[in-house]
């Protein structure tokens, strides 16, 4: 095993999404023994200030706590850092500046995975927090591949996405899955051929209700796990 690779995971946003990401890391790594699995250190601290509320001007910035977590991961010897939370990437530049270890960007990992597809959709719906949608990361990257983005409406965010997301955070996965399923159906109805599940709570909820359209989705958490696994394999 390489002694120079250690993945730092800045988690807690939310804690279930962090555990789901760790599961995906295991599944993405073709290990034949414990010793071949990807080594990681996890900062799974859920007390980080709410990202959605911060970006809506309704709560404190999580940046000081995020930087603290980044520094702790650096102190633990992380050679690379992953953040399994799309909205937290709003502060990516400040976090990257504060970190000695490079931070793998979840959007880049997702679009790189999409670009490898033999056939690409023309229209992709994005399920994400308002902060992620307003930042435009996915829209810009999709446009660079000549793919049109379809976004939730303000009413859909209020009625389905936000309550669905917070249902997951309180452990009501089936309730969250039902609400987020409505959001997905609305995007498909407007012409989306595939969906980017650009909030790490969304795949967990949709898997809980066994949503029949999961094969038509791109999962950034999965793409991030696969990118980190590839980095680990290259070190061996």
Question: Would residue 199 show up in a list of annotated catalytic residues for this protein?
Answer: yes
On whether both 189 and 119 belong to a single domain, the answer is yes
Which phi-psi region, left, alpha or beta, contains residue 44 (left: φ > 0; alpha: ψ -120 to 50)?
beta
Regarding whether 84 and 118 lie in a shared domain, the answer is no
Look at the pTM and tell me if it is higher than 0.95: no
Residues 83 and 47 in one domain: yes
Listed residue (171, 228, 231, 197) closest to 10, CA to CA: 228
| 70 and 152 part of one domain | no
Q: What are phi and psi of 43, to 5 degrees?
A: -105, 90
Q: Are residues 90 and 169 in the same domain?
A: no
Whether residues 113 and 95 fall in one domain: no
Overall number of domains in the chain: 2
**Which CATH number belongs to the domain containing residue 173 in this structure?**
3.40.50.1860
Active site residue: 85, 133, 179, 187, which one? 85
CB atoms within 10 A of CB 213: 14
Annotated catalytic residue: which of 150, 199, 204, 211? Answer: 199
Nearest to 39 by CA among 200, 219, 222, 231: 231
Q: Are residues 209 and 115 in the same domain?
A: yes
172-15-188-123 Cα dihedral, nearest 10 degrees? 180
pLDDT score of 199 more than 90: yes
Give the integer Cα–Cα distance in Å for 150 and 127: 9
Please give the residue range of the domain that contains residue 144.
105-219
143 in the same domain as 88: no
Q: What are phi and psi of 93, to 5 degrees?
A: -60, -45
Residues 32 and 109 both lie in one domain: no
**199: DSSP letter:** S
Query: Is 236's pLDDT higher than 90?
Result: no
| pLDDT tens digits, one per residue of 63-111 | 999 999 999 999 999 999 999 999 999 999 999 999 999 999 999 999 9
Question: Are residue 179 and residue 87 in the same domain, yes or no?
Answer: no
Question: Average pLDDT of 155-183?
Answer: 97
Whether residue 97 is found in the same domain as residue 117:
no
**What are the tens digits of pLDDT across the range 113-165?**
988 888 889 999 999 999 999 999 999 999 999 999 999 999 999 999 999 99
Quick check: 216 and 206 in contact, CB under 8 A?
A: no
Same domain, yes or no: 179 and 90: no
pLDDT digits (tens, 9 = 90+) for 2-61: 468 999 999 999 999 999 999 999 999 999 999 999 999 999 999 999 999 999 999 999
Q: Is the pLDDT of residue 1 over 70?
A: no
165 catalytic per annotation:
no
């Amino acid at each position: 095993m390489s002694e120079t690779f250690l993945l730092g995971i800045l988690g807690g946003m939310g804690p279930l999404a962090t555990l789901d990401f760790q599961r995906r890391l295991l599944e993405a790594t073709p290990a034949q023994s414990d010793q071949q699995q990807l080594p990681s250190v996890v900062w799974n601290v859920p007390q980080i200030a709410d990202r959605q509320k911060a970006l809506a001007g309704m709560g404190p910035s999580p940046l000081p706590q995020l930087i603290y977590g980044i520094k702790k991961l650096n102190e633990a010897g992380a050679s690379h850092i992953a953040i399994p939370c799309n909205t937290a990437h709003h502060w990516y530049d400040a976090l990257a500046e504060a970190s000695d270890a490079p931070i793998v960007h979840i959007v880049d990992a997702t679009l790189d995975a999409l670009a490898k597809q033999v056939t690409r959709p023309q229209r992709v719906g994005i399920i994400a927090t308002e902060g992620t949608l307003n930042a435009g990361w996915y829209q810009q990257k999709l446009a660079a591949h000549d793919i049109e983005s379809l976004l939730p409406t303000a009413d859909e965010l209020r009625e389905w996405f936000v309550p669905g997301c917070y249902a997951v955070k309180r452990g009501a996965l089936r309730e969250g899955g039902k609400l987020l399923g409505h959001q997905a159906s609305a995007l498909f109805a407007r012409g989306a051929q595939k969906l980017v599940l650009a909030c790490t709570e969304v795949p967990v909820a949709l898997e809980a209700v066994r949503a029949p359209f999961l094969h038509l989705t791109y999962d950034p958490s999965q793409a991030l796990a696969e990118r980190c696994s590839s980095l680990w394999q290259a070190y061996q």
